[in-house]
Structure formats: C-alpha cells, structure tokens
Amino acid sequence: MMADNRLKLLVTASTFPRGEHDTEPRFVLDLCKCLNKNYKVSVLVPAYPGCKDLEHIEGIEVIRYHYLPFNKLETLCYPGAIVPRIKEKKIRSLQVPFLFLGLAWKLFKIQTNYDVIHSHWLIPQGIVQSFFQHPFILTCHGGDIKALNFSVIKKLKYYALKHASQITFVSKDLMQFTEEHICKDKSIEYKSSVIPMGVDTTRFSPSFRINDYFTNDSKKTVLFVGRFAEKKGISYLIESMKNVPAHLVLVGTGPLDMQLKREASSAGISCQFMGAKSHEELSKIYASADVLCVPSITASNGDTEGMPTVIAEGMASGLPVVATRHGGIPAIVQDGVNGFLVPEKSSEQLADKLNKLLSDKTLYTLFREKAIQTAEEFSYDELAKKYREVIDKALSESR
C-alpha cells in the first residue's frame, strides 16, 4: 500500500451538512471534496444533539467538537445559521462564549497534526484561529464582515484579518468593504483575493427537469431558494408577484416562515411553500422551474449577502436570474446577459423584469444559454485550482 504524501489540510466552519442528505448548505463540503484530490482534508465543525464525534461524509473526515457539557444542549448552530438561531431564542446567545472556547480547546489539541488550516467565516473560526501560531487561510462570506462591527468585535476582526496568512473574500464588494471599514491601514491588501463559492455542475443540470413538477396548469414558475431571513428580501418578491402571472415557489425555512406565509395569503398570489430540501431534491426543483429570483437586501442590522451559491446552482440548472444589485451578486449575474439586476426593495422592477423574461421566448432562451455557460466558470473544479494557489502561498510563507 502506497503512503499518502498529501499535505494535511484542516477546514473549520460553523455551517456544514449533518449527513449526505441534509438540507444544510453544503458549499464547504463541495469545496473540500475538490481540494481532497491534492490535500488530505479533515473538517472541524460544531457538535449538535445526537451527532457522532467522528464520521466520514462523502469521503471527507468530519470531526465534531463539543462546547457544552451535555450534547443535547448544543443547539446553537443547527439547523440554520448561528445569528438567526439566536434571534429565534435569545437564550442561545449564552452559548456563544462556550462555542469560542470549545473551538479553541479542540484546535489547541489537534491543529499541530495539520500543515495548514482553512477557516471559513471570521466569526468564530477566524478570530479563534488568529490566536494560534499556525498558518491559516481565512475565507470571509458576507455577514461575518458586514454585521456586528462594534468596539471589541471589530477589533477582534481586525486582529484576525491581520494575522491570517492569506485571505479570500467571496466577492469584490466584500473585500472593498473590509478595506474601507475594518482594515483601513491597507494591511491586508497584499494577501487578499476574491474567490467566490461555486456549484457542483454534476449535481445541477437542465437534464433533471420534470415538466409540470409544481402545477398542472402549465403556468410558468418563479423560484426562490434560501433561508427565510430579512436579508433575503422575500417580502418584496411576494409583493411583486401580484403583477406577475406565474406560480411562485419558495424553498427554505427560517425565522420569517409564518410571516411570509401570511403575506403570501394576503397577496392572493399563486404560491407554494416547499420547506427545506436536500440537494438531491433541489436538483429537480431548480431544473423544473423557469426563473430564479434572488431579491436580497441589506438587513436592518447591516447583514448582507456575499455571493449566494443558489445563483450558480440555478444557472447550472438552466435558469435565467432576476436579482437585486446587492453584495457580490453582480459578479455572477450580468445585467442583460444571463439575467436582470434591479435595485434593492423594488417590487415594481422585480415584476417588470420577471414579466419581460417570461413573455419573451427569444430573450429567455438567450439568457438561459448564457446562464449555463456562466455556471461552468463557477464550478468547484475551477475554483479549487484558485484555492490551491492560495493554500500553497500560505504554506510557502510559513516555511
């Protein structure tokens, strides 16, 4: 048996699938699978009630760290993201310091077994990692940069960014915000790059389409996929559908679930709430819809999107996109090429562009073809090449 000479890469994250068929976002897993061809990848993520401490998911070793004495109480991170779960139950905020400490203790015990560490999200992974003398890459996704920028937290963010070996941002907008509001001294320019999250083009394709999947009346379908949270701007999409003769399908769940159902009922539109779905189910849902709508907005607490992975998934499935000009979205949605961009919070312009796409077959076909081509540029195989360059830089600088 040949020895495995690959360098060891530890990936830390707070959002990660709990199993192969979980509905949690899997972009970190998909990237790890591609990087595993060149590095021996392990993933370190928080525990959840009933979890295994060590398991393999799709060939990737997954280590779960504990942060409370009783596993049944470790409910901060799943299902969904940390901030929405705290909003759902304020008492969960008491778990946050223990999450930091749990991660720090686990890293203290195991990080020397790895050549390099890749920390996804500044909070808590990047901040905790920055206090260890070990080469690490920090990937910033959006809300971890733009939200919670007050006194101590902002200083901790600066400290983490300054001590990272290399930094990647999922959008140019995010990198510019960081340089203008957190690292004003230009101390991170030389080690920063923009690499978005992407799509597994083998999992998403127009070939998965099922005709009349949502309705039996041949009505066109507008699709939204994502968490039901303020920054997703779903209320503006529901309002816009009053003037769009199409069926709206909303896939996901979250703190605004009941509010959005009331809004859809009050609007009197044709609307279907499908709940959270696994990626196997999503492949059929995307391909069976007609247009993907991503109406993201800046939330009241400053939270924003980086570059939503649903856009690349939708495009790979053959969907033109109508989205807001927000965060990193313009990096993938080219206005008038593979979709349309409109201002945030404009239900009127969302309706106008949706109607334009759904009523013009020639334009729709052109956008659809361009969308599929764009998705190829965002495949994880292509993005992994860029991440390998960044990882190799971090390793070479540490020697």
CA dihedral defined by 247, 252, 258, 260, rounded to 10 degrees? -40
- Residue 2: the pLDDT is 64
- Residue 399: the pLDDT is 65
* Residue 139 and residue 239 in one domain: no
**How many beta carbons lie within 10 A of that of residue 211, not counting itself?**
6
| Alpha carbons 256 and 49: distance in angstroms, whole number | 24
* Residue 121 and residue 254 in one domain: no
* Residue 67 and residue 154 in one domain: yes
pTM for the complete prediction?
A: 0.87
In the beta sheet, which residues pair with residue 291?
222
Establish if 319 belongs to a structural domain. yes
**Helix then strand then coil, % of the chain, to nearest 5:** 45, 20, 40
* Residue 125 and residue 241 in one domain: no
* Residue 367 and residue 392 in one domain: no
* Residue 83 and residue 222 in one domain: no
Establish if 342 belongs to a structural domain. yes
Establish if 194 belongs to a structural domain. yes
| Alpha carbons 341 and 333: distance in angstroms, whole number | 7
Candidate ranges 176-190, 281-295, 373-387; pick with highest mean pLDDT: 281-295
| Alpha carbons 47 and 68: distance in angstroms, whole number | 9
φ/ψ region of 139 (left if φ > 0, alpha if ψ in -120 to 50, else beta) reads beta
Long-range pairs, 336-340, Cβ under 8 A, ≥24: 337/367, 337/370, 338/367, 338/370, 338/371, 338/373, 338/374, 339/367, 339/371
Establish if 254 belongs to a structural domain. yes
Read off the pLDDT of residues 89-119 as tens digits, 9 standing for 90 and up. 889 989 999 999 999 999 999 999 999 999 9
Read off the pLDDT of residues 156-210 as tens digits, 9 standing for 90 and up. 999 999 999 999 999 898 999 999 999 988 889 899 999 998 899 989 999 999 9
What average pLDDT score do residues 257-272 get?
A: 96
Q: Is the pLDDT of residue 147 over 80?
A: no
Read off the pLDDT of residues 343-365 as tens digits, 9 standing for 90 and up. 999 999 999 999 999 999 999 99
Sheet containing 321-324, strands listed edge to edge, beginning at the edge strand earlier in sequence: 271-275, 247-251, 221-225, 291-294, 321-324, 339-342
* Residue 167 and residue 223 in one domain: no
* Residue 57 and residue 77 in one domain: yes
Establish if 1 belongs to a structural domain. no
Q: 49-53, 84-88, 331-335 — which is least confidently predicted?
A: 84-88
Q: Is the pLDDT of residue 5 over 90?
A: no
- Residue 213, C-beta contacts closer than 8 angstroms, at least 6 positions apart: 284, 285, 288
Q: Is the pLDDT of residue 151 over 90?
A: no
CATH of the domain at 37: 3.40.50.2000
Task: Name the domain count of the chain.
Answer: 2
In the beta sheet, which residues pair with residue 379?
199
Which pLDDT band holds residue 284 (cuts at 50, 70, 90)?
very high
* Residue 369 and residue 384 in one domain: no
- Residue 89: the pLDDT is 85
What average pLDDT score do residues 214-240 get?
A: 92
Range of the domain at 127: 7-198+380-398
* Residue 194 and residue 228 in one domain: no
- Residue 129: the pLDDT is 97
* Residue 40 and residue 130 in one domain: yes
Establish if 110 belongs to a structural domain. yes
Is residue 230 within 8 A of residue 297, CB to CB? The reply is yes
According to DSSP H, which parts of 44-196 are helical?
Answer: 82-88, 96-110, 127-129, 143-146, 151-163, 172-181
* Residue 358 and residue 385 in one domain: no
What average pLDDT score do residues 221-232 get?
A: 95
Q: For residue 124, how many C-alpha atoms fall within 13 Å in the half-sphere facing its CB? A: 22
- Residue 149: the pLDDT is 79
Which pLDDT band holds residue 255 (cuts at 50, 70, 90)?
confident
- Residue 334: the pLDDT is 96
